[in-house]
Structure 1
C-alpha cells in the first residue's frame, strides 16, 4: 500500500525536495539528486543512516504520516530508495510546523531501544527559535537559590518526557479526603460531649469510619471534592512562594538562577491539555491541573524581520510536554515568530520559526552486540559515510551536566553535521552503549541584522 502511495505522489515529493534544497542554498537538481542516490550517496536532507536508524532534517509544514501527498514517511523513502520496503517506526515526533532533527527506527528492536532512551531520560534535545521582540535576560528577576526539580537538565531533557508520571519534587501538603471526613466526625463527637442534640443522620455519621464509606461514591464525593479544592489551593500557594525573588516580587516562573551565564534564563510554567483539543494551555488557565514543565533559554542574536524586532534563542527542554516550547515562549512574553496557534496573528510569515537543532540519544546496545574491544571500534563507510554501525558503534557516556553543544568533552566523540566520530567505551555487562549524536544546519540566518526566511 505504501509503495502505491509513493507512486501516486512522486512529483509532489520531488517538488518539495527541490524547495528544501533551494532554501538551504544548494544547487543540485532533482535529477542530479536521483543520480547521486544511484551512486550510493546519502541525500542532503538525510543526516545519518545505518542499519537501525535514519535521521533526517525534517522540513517545516510537513506531516509525519497519513494519506497526504507529502509526508515524512514518503520523503524518507524518496530520499532513501533502499528504505522503500522498510517499515518505518517513530522514535519521537515533531510538530507539523517544526523543522529539524527527526530520528526514525528501521525495525522493531531499534524502535524499542530509541523509545527506551526517551523513557529513561537518556535523550537530549535542543531547539533554535526566533521569537518576537527583544529578549533581555538582564531584565529577568534572579533567584537567590538554585530551584528544585531542575537536576542536570541544563544541557536539555534532564527531566525527560515522562516526568509527569513521577511525583513532583516540590510536592505540596494538602488535606486528603479522609482528613475532611475525620474533621467532620470530630466536630460531631465534640458536640455529643457538650450535650448537644444531633439529627439522626449526624448521629449515624458519628459512628462511621472512613473505611465504611470510602468505596461509596455518593457518600465520599463531598470529601473528595473538598480534598481536590484544597490541593488546588495548596499548589497555588506553593507556586507563589517558590516564585519569590530576592526582592520579594513574584517572577511568574521566568527567572535566572545563580548558575546561569550571560544571556541565559529559565522558564518554569506548568502546561496541561485542553479537553477535546490538540492544543495545550498554561497552568494558570487550567486551575493548577498542569504538569511541571521547564525550559532553559539562551539568547543568541537580536535582529529584525519586516520591521519587527526579533530574537534568536536556543531552547533546551528539561521536560517533554507537547507544545512546551511554544507555550513557554508565549509565557515569556515573546511568542515564536509565525506561530499562529500561540500568539502570532500574522499569517503571511512563511513558516513557524522553531527548529530542532540537535538530538543526542544514549542507546542501549543491540541484543546481539559483540563485546570485544576490536568490534567496539566504529567502522566508517567509504566516502565519509556514517561513523557508527548498529552492532559495533560505541562512544563514552557523556558526563552529566556537560553541554550537549560541546565538541568532544567528557570522553565523547566529536560532533559533526549529521554524524559523530565514535570512540569505544565499556559499560556494564561488557557491552557497548551507542551514542547517536546528530546536528541539523541552522535555517535562521541574519544578514545585516535582518532575518532571511
Structure 2
C-alpha cells in the first residue's frame, strides 16, 4: 500500500496507515483506510457498535441443501496454534478452542454450479460479528469450505489460484461521510474464464442485499 498510495502514508504510524478493520491476506475486495485520527476513531466506533454492514461473495465446495442460513457458532483461538495466532477454531472442537466468543454469519445462496467440473455454490455472506477467520471457519464448519481455502480445507484444496472470498460491499454510516461502496463481482463466469459455470440461479445480486438483511 505504501507504494500504491504514497500520498496517504502517515510516517508517525507503525504500519503507515490508520486501519479500522482488516481483511485476511488471501481475501480480495474493499478495505476502508481512514485518512486521519478522527476519521479512524469514528469508523472504529461504527465497527465496534456493529453498525457497519459488510457483504462478501464466496464460492463454496459442494451444493448446499439450504438457500438461506444463519450460522451461530462461537469462535476462539486454536490452542495448537496459539503462538503463531494463524488459526482459529469453534466450540464444536471443544477442548482445542480457547476464549470462544459468539459469532454469527448470514448465508444466502446465489447460484449452484460447477468449478472445474466439481460442485460449487456461490453465496453472499454477511458477518454480523467480526471474528478472525469467521467466514472461512463458519463455512468449513457447515461442510462447505471456501474454494481455495488451504488452511480450513485441512491443506488439501491446493489447485485453485486463489481463495474465492471477496469483500463485495461495505456500508458505513457515520457523521463524517456516509459510505456505501460496492465492487464488481470477481466471480462471474467470464471473470473466472468459464471454469465456473452456474446451472441454477437461486437469488440475483440485485435482490440479495435486501433478502440477507431481512432474516
The TM-score normalised by the length of structure 2 is 0.78
Equivalent residue, structure 1, for 2:163: 352
In structure 2, C-alpha distance between the alignment counterparts of 1:105 and 1:310, rounded to whole Å? 36
2:46 is matched with which residue: 117, 123, 127?
A: 117
Change (3 A) 1:97 1:293: same
In structure 2, C-alpha distance between the alignment counterparts of 1:135 and 1:73, rounded to whole Å? 41
Q: Secondary structure at the match of 1:298?
A: strand
In structure 2, C-alpha distance between the alignment counterparts of 1:322 and 1:280, rounded to whole Å? 7
1:361 is matched with which residue: 169, 172, 175?
A: 172
Structure 1: 5+ residue stretches without partners: 1-71, 138-262, 366-433
When Rg is computed on C-alpha atoms for both structures, the one with the higher figure is 1
Choose between structure 1 and 2: higher helix proportion. 1
In structure 2, C-alpha distance between the alignment counterparts of 1:73 and 1:271, rounded to whole Å? 33
In structure 1, C-alpha distance between the alignment counterparts of 2:10 and 2:48, rounded to whole Å? 28
1:303 is matched with which residue: 109, 113, 116?
A: 113
Equivalent residue, structure 2, for 1:315: 125
Where in structure 2 are the equivalents of 1:5-404 lying within 5 Å? Answer: 72-77=1-6, 82-83=7-8, 88-137=17-66, 263-274=67-78, 275-276=82-83, 277-287=85-95, 289-343=99-153, 345-365=156-176
In structure 2, C-alpha distance between the alignment counterparts of 1:85 and 1:318, rounded to whole Å? 31
Q: Is the Cα–Cα contact under 8 Å of residues 303 and 449 in structure 1 kept in the other structure?
A: no
In structure 1, C-alpha distance between the alignment counterparts of 2:61 and 2:101, rounded to whole Å? 26
Q: Secondary structure at the match of 2:46?
A: helix
Equivalent residue, structure 2, for 1:451: 196
Equivalent residue, structure 1, for 2:185: 442
Q: Is the Cα–Cα contact under 8 Å of residues 91 and 115 in structure 1 kept in the other structure?
A: yes
Q: Is the Cα–Cα contact under 8 Å of residues 68 and 109 in structure 2 kept in the other structure?
A: yes
Q: Secondary structure at the match of 1:290?
A: strand
TM-superposed deviation, 1:348: 2.5
Structure 2: 5+ residue stretches without partners: 198-215
In structure 2, C-alpha distance between the alignment counterparts of 1:85 and 1:294, rounded to whole Å? 34
The TM-score normalised by the length of structure 1 is 0.38
Choose between structure 1 and 2: higher strand proportion. 2
Equivalent residue, structure 2, for 1:415: none
Q: How many residues align?
A: 184
Structure with more contact order per residue of length (Cα contacts < 8 Å, sep ≥ 6): 2
In structure 2, C-alpha distance between the alignment counterparts of 1:264 and 1:346, rounded to whole Å? 25
